[in-house]
Protein backbone atom coordinates (compact mmCIF):
# COMPACT_ATOMS: atom_id res chain seq x y z
CA UNK A 1 0.00 0.00 0.00
CA UNK A 2 1.49 3.28 -1.11
CA UNK A 3 1.61 6.19 1.33
CA UNK A 4 1.49 9.85 0.41
CA UNK A 5 1.85 12.70 2.85
CA UNK A 6 0.14 15.76 1.37
CA UNK A 7 1.16 18.86 3.28
CA UNK A 8 0.75 22.60 3.00
CA UNK A 9 4.04 24.48 2.95
CA UNK A 10 7.62 23.68 2.09
CA UNK A 11 9.86 21.99 4.61
CA UNK A 12 13.27 23.61 4.27
CA UNK A 13 16.56 21.78 4.67
CA UNK A 14 17.39 21.25 8.28
CA UNK A 15 16.78 18.83 11.12
CA UNK A 16 13.06 18.35 10.44
CA UNK A 17 13.69 17.49 6.77
CA UNK A 18 16.46 15.09 7.74
CA UNK A 19 14.19 13.34 10.25
CA UNK A 20 11.28 13.01 7.81
CA UNK A 21 13.57 11.65 5.11
CA UNK A 22 15.23 9.20 7.52
CA UNK A 23 11.98 7.83 8.96
CA UNK A 24 10.35 7.46 5.54
CA UNK A 25 13.43 5.66 4.23
CA UNK A 26 13.21 3.29 7.21
CA UNK A 27 9.46 2.86 6.62
CA UNK A 28 10.01 1.93 2.98
CA UNK A 29 12.76 -0.55 3.84
CA UNK A 30 10.83 -2.22 6.67
CA UNK A 31 7.43 -2.00 5.00
CA UNK A 32 8.43 -3.45 1.62
CA UNK A 33 8.29 -7.06 2.82
CA UNK A 34 4.89 -6.59 4.45
CA UNK A 35 3.13 -4.71 1.68
CA UNK A 36 3.59 -1.15 2.96
CA UNK A 37 5.23 1.57 0.91
CA UNK A 38 6.68 3.31 -0.83
CA UNK A 39 6.06 6.61 0.90
CA UNK A 40 6.39 10.09 -0.52
CA UNK A 41 5.77 13.65 0.57
CA UNK A 42 3.94 16.01 -1.74
CA UNK A 43 4.08 19.65 -0.64
CA UNK A 44 1.63 22.27 -1.86
CA UNK A 45 1.80 26.00 -1.43
CA UNK A 46 -0.86 28.64 -1.97
CA UNK A 47 1.18 31.47 -3.45
CA UNK A 48 -1.86 33.62 -4.21
CA UNK A 49 -3.00 33.90 -0.59
CA UNK A 50 -6.38 32.24 -1.05
CA UNK A 51 -6.47 30.89 2.51
CA UNK A 52 -7.75 27.53 3.67
CA UNK A 53 -10.08 27.04 0.69
CA UNK A 54 -7.23 27.50 -1.78
CA UNK A 55 -5.01 25.17 0.27
CA UNK A 56 -7.82 22.59 0.30
CA UNK A 57 -8.07 22.72 -3.50
CA UNK A 58 -4.31 22.15 -3.82
CA UNK A 59 -4.40 19.31 -1.29
CA UNK A 60 -7.36 17.72 -3.06
CA UNK A 61 -5.42 17.68 -6.34
CA UNK A 62 -2.48 16.04 -4.54
CA UNK A 63 -4.60 13.06 -3.42
CA UNK A 64 -4.19 9.88 -5.49
CA UNK A 65 -7.43 8.69 -7.10
CA UNK A 66 -9.26 6.30 -4.81
CA UNK A 67 -6.90 6.87 -1.88
CA UNK A 68 -8.02 6.61 1.71
CA UNK A 69 -7.77 10.16 3.02
CA UNK A 70 -6.62 10.69 6.59
CA UNK A 71 -6.75 14.19 8.05
CA UNK A 72 -4.19 15.08 10.70
CA UNK A 73 -6.30 17.24 12.96
CA UNK A 74 -6.48 18.01 16.68
CA UNK A 75 -10.16 16.96 16.63
CA UNK A 76 -9.25 13.55 15.27
CA UNK A 77 -8.98 10.24 17.06
CA UNK A 78 -6.07 9.72 19.40
CA UNK A 79 -4.70 6.22 19.22
CA UNK A 80 -1.79 4.14 20.36
CA UNK A 81 0.99 3.14 18.00
CA UNK A 82 -0.24 -0.49 17.84
CA UNK A 83 -3.75 0.78 17.01
CA UNK A 84 -2.30 2.92 14.22
CA UNK A 85 -0.37 -0.11 12.91
CA UNK A 86 -3.59 -2.17 12.96
CA UNK A 87 -5.41 0.59 11.07
CA UNK A 88 -2.80 0.56 8.30
CA UNK A 89 -2.76 -3.24 8.21
CA UNK A 90 -6.54 -3.34 7.94
CA UNK A 91 -6.53 -1.03 4.93
CA UNK A 92 -3.67 -2.97 3.35
CA UNK A 93 -5.41 -6.30 3.96
CA UNK A 94 -8.63 -4.93 2.46
CA UNK A 95 -6.72 -4.38 -0.78
CA UNK A 96 -6.50 -0.61 -0.62
CA UNK A 97 -3.68 0.62 -2.83
CA UNK A 98 -3.17 4.15 -1.53
CA UNK A 99 -3.50 6.09 1.70
CA UNK A 100 -2.97 9.85 1.81
CA UNK A 101 -2.31 11.74 5.02
CA UNK A 102 -3.32 15.41 4.81
CA UNK A 103 -1.57 18.08 6.89
CA UNK A 104 -3.01 21.58 6.69
CA UNK A 105 -1.30 24.93 6.95
CA UNK A 106 -1.18 27.40 9.81
CA UNK A 107 -4.98 27.56 10.05
CA UNK A 108 -5.51 23.80 9.74
CA UNK A 109 -7.50 21.93 7.11
CA UNK A 110 -10.49 23.53 5.42
CA UNK A 111 -13.67 22.03 6.98
CA UNK A 112 -14.99 20.92 3.58
CA UNK A 113 -11.90 18.82 2.91
CA UNK A 114 -11.61 17.64 6.51
CA UNK A 115 -15.23 16.43 6.48
CA UNK A 116 -14.51 14.30 3.39
CA UNK A 117 -11.71 12.42 5.14
CA UNK A 118 -12.13 8.70 5.71
CA UNK A 119 -10.41 9.09 9.06
CA UNK A 120 -9.00 11.86 11.26
CA UNK A 121 -6.05 11.33 13.56
CA UNK A 122 -4.78 13.56 16.34
CA UNK A 123 -1.35 13.59 17.92
CA UNK A 124 -2.91 15.03 21.07
CA UNK A 125 -4.95 17.97 22.26
CA UNK A 126 -2.08 20.37 21.71
CA UNK A 127 -1.59 22.10 18.38
CA UNK A 128 1.68 21.19 16.68
CA UNK A 129 3.55 23.09 13.96
CA UNK A 130 3.02 21.40 10.60
CA UNK A 131 6.76 20.72 10.27
CA UNK A 132 6.75 18.71 13.49
CA UNK A 133 3.55 16.89 12.53
CA UNK A 134 5.37 15.62 9.43
CA UNK A 135 8.21 14.31 11.58
CA UNK A 136 5.82 12.68 14.05
CA UNK A 137 3.78 11.10 11.23
CA UNK A 138 6.88 9.78 9.47
CA UNK A 139 8.10 8.26 12.73
CA UNK A 140 4.72 6.66 13.44
CA UNK A 141 4.62 5.20 9.93
CA UNK A 142 8.01 3.61 10.52
CA UNK A 143 6.93 2.44 13.98
CA UNK A 144 3.77 0.89 12.51
CA UNK A 145 5.82 -0.99 9.90
CA UNK A 146 8.22 -2.15 12.62
CA UNK A 147 5.31 -3.37 14.77
CA UNK A 148 3.74 -5.26 11.87
CA UNK A 149 7.10 -6.72 10.83
CA UNK A 150 7.82 -7.86 14.39
CA UNK A 151 11.07 -5.91 14.77
CA UNK A 152 12.21 -4.76 18.23
CA UNK A 153 11.93 -1.00 17.48
CA UNK A 154 8.62 -0.62 19.33
CA UNK A 155 8.91 -1.54 22.96
CA UNK A 156 5.64 -1.45 24.86
The region that residue 35 occupies, defined by phi over 0 for left and psi between -120 and 50 for alpha, beta otherwise, is: left
Provide the whole-model pTM: 0.95
Condensed to tens digits (0 to 9), the pLDDT of residues 97-148 reads 999 999 999 899 999 999 999 999 999 988 888 889 999 999 999 999 999 9
The CATH architecture annotation of domain 2-149 reads: 3-Layer(aba) Sandwich (3.40)
Sequence spans of domains, the chain: 2-149
Write phi, then psi, for 75 (nearest 5 degrees). -90, 0
Amino acid sequence: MRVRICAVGRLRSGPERLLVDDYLKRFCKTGRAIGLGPAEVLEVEDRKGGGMAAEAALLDRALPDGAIMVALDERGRMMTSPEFADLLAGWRDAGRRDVAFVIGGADGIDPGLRNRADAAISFGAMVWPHMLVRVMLAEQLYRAAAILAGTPYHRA
